[in-house]
Amino acid sequence: MKKRQRWFVYILRCADGSYYTGIARDTAARVAAHNQGRGAAYTRSHRPVRLIYREIRFSRAAAMSRELAIKRLSRDQKAGLVLRGRQQDIPVAAGTRPSVAVGRHGPR
């Protein structure tokens, strides 16, 4: 029987307040890679990044499908997703909780 692998869809908040969405099996290692400049090209020029949201999926295909769905959301919809995750107390990494930047114009 094939062992089910856990995949995560995650959202990062970049230093400039923008969001980056991706997938990984180990989000802590992936965030570290992004912050060391070994992640996606986009995050290399928007460091440091912070993990603000993640969801679990049980196949790479399911994670990629959800990643695409999240990438199609508007900025406000992504902020809402992050806030709902916080309200449901979804843990994103050991010792951290989801967060979203809120300025005078609302979530960024």
- The CATH number assigned to the domain with range 7-102 reads 3.40.1440
d(CA 95, CA 71): 26
Count H helices, E strands: the chain? Answer: 4, 5
pLDDT, residue 104, reads 35
Stretch 39-44: mean pLDDT: 94
Specify the pTM: 0.78
Q: Is the model more confident about 32 or about 103?
A: 32
Q: Render pLDDT for 5-25 as a digit per residue (tens, 0 to 9).
A: 899 999 999 999 999 999 999
Specify the DSSP class assigned to residue 60. H
Structure tokens given for 61 = 């295909």
pLDDT tens per residue, range 49-93: 999 999 999 999 999 999 999 999 999 999 999 998 876 654 544
